Chains A and B, each alone.
Chain A
Amino acid sequence: MFRRAAPLLALALLACGSTGAEPFAYPIAAVGVGADAFPVGDWQVTLTRADLALGPIYLCATAAASPDLCAVAVGEFADVAVLDALAPAAVELGEVAALPGDVRSAMLDYGISWFTTQTEATPDRALGNSARLAGTAVRGDTTVTFDARVDVLPPLRGSPALVGVRARVDEPGPDSRLLLRVDPRAWLLGVDFDALAAAGPSAAIRPGDAAHAAIAFAMTTQPPTFSWSAP
């Protein structure tokens, strides 16, 4: 878990060592959106399953997040948590290991990381994919069931899958709590359910499929939102 995260924080700890900055931790939680049906074009879509592998997450002191600039990480959630993105109540994921300082952006993986020590991107074992989204799409008397196993891959070795994610808070402290809001519905808005229906009443969506590309793209461009509060 700490294959890449540890060096990042270690660098920051070294950098801050002479200033007396003390590391601390605060909780991180995630909340989903519930299982209500939602429209995608003419289709009414209902998710029955939305498992998401989330992490590692790095909190950066610079708005211009990049693997290089985030060597000054001010926080990290080094684990991969698998969460139910349909759960409407917040679920605790663990703790952010933090250093004093403002957060200006974030980088993250969806459970598939490509550390500098690896020859290829590797999924965490807990889910085996970045996300598993299953449900039904209904239009009139036509129903399509779908089961998508989605992989969001880091573009380069040593780079998280998502960089420059909007995340901003001044000086979070030990009493802070980071809440991630995840909306898997938004990730299905680009799926062509007409095409899925034309192929049959059920669809197994896998890497290489157009629907997979649409979901993976949306997961990249519509990441979880970050907010901090006191517990």
Chain B
Amino acid sequence: MTSTRLVPLFALLLACSARGSGTVQVFVEAEDTIPDGLDPGDGDESIVDGWTVRYDKFLVTIGDFHARSSSDDSLDLRDEAVHVVDLKRLPAGGLVLAEFSADAVRYDRVGYSLPNASADADAAEGTAAADRELLVANGWSIYIEGELTAPDGVSCVPGDPDDCAPAPVVRFAWGLQAGTAFADCAGPDGVAGFAIPSGGTVQVKPTVHGDHWFFTNLTQGAEITERRAQWIADADLDRDGETTLAELRQVPAAKLFAAELGYNLSGALIPIVTAYDYLEAQARTLGDFQGEGECPTRDIL
């Protein structure tokens, strides 16, 4: 008698707990602006002040992927490995950052880091050992090289648009310690995290963007902003065709990022006093999710 009553109850318990399992593959993705650059124009992702931007090198330190379910604390996926990644040389099949076999539920609390590189960081597939050494030796979270070009480009004294000199090409090579943790990642549809299908595989893509230092604001949701690059040309104080970090540290940000140009830089993780601060503040926002999705909770590492 007792056993016959227990059987349906046992089956019910099994049904409640049997949610199956699946796999999640975590890929590193580079926004198109990294391999393709940005072009001048009025398009959604164009530079509005006439500059063309191309990157020769775009290295980041990335890792510490984690995901958990807010409905069940025991469902906690984490891979603390950290990698230096050349985002211009991602493998054709994609770069797998982590892979988990786990319960098939929604993991709605997702995050990862772009930390300052330490000796623990390895060189990801496709990344040269010398590039890994460059970031580790300097403790950088990011290193970019590239150039702005515009046939009629000029470099103007910051704050004085009437004192300008021709500058058709302006180069930059910048490494920053801008280690930042990103959390509460959501896809472009705003849905938090990802769901693992029972018996299947889901691919998730922490996505590094390559255009935030051209934004006229600090985006924290949809990227509703303009993209401007003139500030880099104007910060080339000695007008030698290369804007250095030392020059950026000399230029008061208020002279480059004027409200009249549409800039509103509230909401930065750090105080913005110089042009370098602006660059660092924007570098601390590069971590996105599933392409154009956002990871709005950011903390300095």
Q: Which residues of A contact B (CB under 8 A)?
A: 62-66, 68-69, 104-105, 153, 155, 161-166, 186, 189-190, 192, 210, 213-214, 216-218, 220-223
* B interface, over-half SS: loop
Are A186 and B271 in contact (CB-based, < 8 A)? yes
Residues of A within 8 A of B271 (CB): 186, 221-222
Question: Across the two chains, which residue of chain B brings its CB closest to A168?
Answer: B297
Going nearest first, the 4 A-B pairs with the smallest beta carbon separation are A164-B267, A64-B296, A217-B254, A162-B266
Given A163-B266, A216-B254, A220-B264, 8 more A-B residue pairs with CB atoms under 8 Å apart are A64-B294, A68-B221, A105-B220, A161-B264, A190-B254, A221-B273, A222-B271, A222-B272
- Asked if residues A155 and B296 are in contact (CB atoms below 8 Å), the reply is no
> In the complex, which residue of chain A has the Cβ closest to the Cβ of B272?
A221
Q: Among A66, A155, A190, A223, which residue has its beta carbon within 8 angstroms of that of B220?
A: A66
* B133 proximity list for chain A (CB < 8 A): none
A-B contact pairs, 30 of them (CB 8 A): A63-B184, A63-B298, A64-B220, A64-B294, A65-B220, A105-B267, A153-B259, A163-B220, A164-B218, A164-B220, A164-B267, A165-B267, A189-B273, A190-B252, A190-B253, A192-B252, A210-B159, A213-B254, A214-B252, A214-B255, A217-B257, A217-B258, A217-B265, A220-B264, A221-B266, A221-B271, A221-B272, A221-B273, A222-B272, A223-B266
Quote the shortest CB–CB distance from B228 to chain A (angstroms): 15
Q: Please determine whether B221 and A221 come into contact, CB atoms closer than 8 angstroms.
A: no
In the assembled complex, B268 has its CB within 8 A of some CB on chain A? yes
- A222 contact set on B, CB distance < 8 A: 271-273
Which of A63, A218, A221 contacts B296, CB < 8 Å? Answer: A63
Cβ distance A43 to chain B, nearest Cβ, rounded Å: 15
Interface positions, chain B 274-301, Cβ under 8 Å from A, are 294, 296-298
Nearest CB in chain A: distance from B288 CB, A: 12
Q: Which of B264, B267, B273, B298 has the most CB of A within 10 A?
A: B267
CB-CB < 8 A to B218: which residues of A? 164
Q: Which residues of B contact A166 (CB under 8 A)?
A: 267, 269
SS of A interface (majority):
mixed
Question: Whole-angstrom distance from the CB of A71 to the nearest CB of chain B?
Answer: 12
A221 to B265 Cα, complex, angstroms = 6
Chain B interfacial positions (CB closer than 8 Å to A): 159, 184, 218, 220-221, 252-255, 257-259, 262, 264-269, 271-273, 294, 296-298
- Judge whether B220 and A220 touch: CB under 8 Å: no
Contact check: which of A64, A165, A192 meets B266 at CB < 8 Å?
Answer: A165
Q: Are A66 and B273 in contact (CB under 8 A)?
A: no
* Contact status B267-A62, CB under 8 Å: no
Contact of A164 among B159, B253, B258, B266 (CB under 8 A): B266
| Given contact pairs A190-B252, A190-B254, A213-B258, A221 touches B268 in the complex (Cβ within 8 A) | yes
Which residue of A104, A164, A189, A221 has the most chain B CB atoms within 10 A of its CB atom? A221
B contact residues around A218 at 8 Å (CB): 254, 273
Given contacts A63-B296, A104-B297, contact A155 B267 (CB under 8 A): no
- Closest-by-CB residue of B relative to A164 is B267
A104-B297 Cα distance, complex, nearest whole Å = 8
| A65 to B: closest C-beta gap in Å | 6
> Is there an interface contact between A220 and B265, defined as CB atoms closer than 8 Å?
yes
Q: How far is the CB of A207 from chain B (nearest CB, A)?
A: 10
Interchain CB contact under 8 A, B272 and A216: no
CA distance A68 to B221 in the complex (A): 10
Chain B min CB distance to A25 (Å)? 26
Q: Are B258 and A190 in contact (CB under 8 A)?
A: no
Q: Are B266 and A220 in contact (CB under 8 A)?
A: yes
Q: Is the CB of A163 within 8 A of B267?
A: yes
- A217 contacts across to B, CB distance below 8 A: 253-254, 257-259, 265
In the assembled complex, the CB of A182 is this many whole angstroms from the nearest CB of chain B, namely 14
Closest A residue to B271 using CB positions: A222
B266–A66 touching, CB < 8 Å: no
The CA of A63 and the CA of B218, in the complex, are separated in Å by 12
Q: How far is the CA of A216 from the CA of B262 in the complex (A)?
A: 14
Q: What residues of A have a CB within 8 angstroms of the CB of B255 in the complex?
A: 210, 214
